[in-house]
Amino acid sequence: MILSTVYAVTRRLLSLPALLLRRDVTKDAKLLVLRHENAVLRRHVPRLRYEPVDRLWFVALSHLIPCRRWAEVFPMTPATLLAWHRKLVAKKWDYSQRRRPVRPPTGPAVKSLVLRVAAENPGWGHRRIHGELTRLGHKMAASTVWNILNQADIDPAPRRTEPTWRQFLAAQAEHIVAVDFLHVDTINLKRIYALVTLEHGSRRAHLLGVTANPTGPWTTQAARNFLMDAGMNIASIKFLIRDRGGQFTDAFDAVFADVGLRVLKARPTSRKRTHTAKGSSAPCAASS
């Protein structure tokens, strides 16, 4: 008797919006049925295992629903959705299968010869040693000689009067600015690039522009726009450090050279530590 009364009252309450608002509530009723069925299933099966296709479907649908409603709509926590998204991004940008075969190791006899030449000629750098060994018939790259000397704690490029790179950065910190690209992966796995400069002394960052296709002309124009409305004292900057990416063309260097900056290129194998680590953002931040 009590159950039938509760059912009758509930049915009256659910039909009230249709009578008052004069609209079709069939779609909303279907959603309520599905959500209630989902709640019943979760009570009987406390732990579900989702296939990769299921995870992809949930992550794709999360783009259409506000982040604040994820907890009440999806059968998993928002942290789980974000973890799935990070795995999808990492899988999309995984180039481990495209890696080239590694260089064969250098023989012990060649290493001993390099160290012997360096000990007998302390004023020679790694390029001079490489040239002498090449004349003797030893075919190797100059970088191989550099690695052998570096692993043996021998300066690959001995200096007598010029300051070292570390001394240069410490002495000219207030006059150095670095430029590089950062990237963000959106909810649909689309990569967006941001061109950022960083003052070496104050660690202050400046955003030059954002694009999905960083080309040489776009990078040059972004540099021009930045110098026209720069938030830093250009007169105090003397050096610009950049990598050897294809986006940094001669025209890009000319833009900064016109205002008196000297462009310094990093070595091809170096990893600059003047900017923050690159990484993908959360779907909420990327979709907003």
Q: Can you give the CATH number for the domain in which 253 is found? A: 3.30.420.10
Residues 171 and 267 in one domain: yes
- Shared domain for 237 and 259, answered yes or no, is yes
Q: Is the pLDDT of residue 134 over 80?
A: yes
pLDDT computed for residue 237 by the predictor = 84
- Tell me which amino acid residue 115 is: L
- The more confidently predicted of residues 225 and 161 is 225
What's the distance, Cα to Cα, between the start and end of the chain in Å?
51
In a domain, 171, yes or no: yes
pTM of the model: 0.48
Q: How far apart are CA 61 and CA 33, in angstroms?
A: 19
Residue 255 sits in the same domain as residue 205: yes
Secondary element (H or E) of residue 133: helix 126-135
Note whether 115 and 72 are same-domain residues.
no
- Greater confidence (100 vs 244) lies with 244
| Same-domain pairing of 79 and 183 | no
Residue 156 located in a structural domain: no
The arithmetic mean of pLDDT across residues 43-65, rounded, is 74
**3-class secondary-structure state, position 105:** coil
In the numeric block, which tokens belong to residue 117? 């030449």
CA-CA distance, 59 to 187, in Å (whole number)?
8
Q: Which of 31-40, 48-57, 167-176 has the highest mean pLDDT?
A: 167-176
Residue 272 pLDDT class (50, 70, 90 cuts): very low
How many domains are contained in the chain? 3
Q: Supply the pLDDT for residue 64.
A: 74
Do 170 and 282 fall into the same domain? Answer: yes
SS3 162: coil
> Is 63 a member of any domain?
yes
Domain contains 5: no
- Which of 92, 125, 142 finishes a domain? 92
Residue 99: inside a domain, yes or no? Answer: no
Shared domain for 118 and 198, answered yes or no, is no
212 burial via Cβ count (<10 Å: 0-12, 13-18, 19+): exposed
Query: Do 123 and 186 have their domain in common?
Result: no
Q: What is the pLDDT of residue 273?
A: 44
Secondary element (H or E) of residue 196: strand 191-199
Q: Comparing 241 with 104, which gets the higher pLDDT?
A: 241
Residue 190 lies in a domain: yes
Chain centroid offset of residue 72 CA: 31
In a domain, 4, yes or no: no
pLDDT of 282 above 70: no
For residue 9, is it within any domain? no
Query: 239 with 283, same domain?
Result: yes
Let me know whether 175 and 275 are in one domain: yes
Residue 252: which domain range?
165-287
Same domain, 87 and 140: no
Cα Rg, the chain, nearest whole Å? 31
Res 13: pLDDT: 59
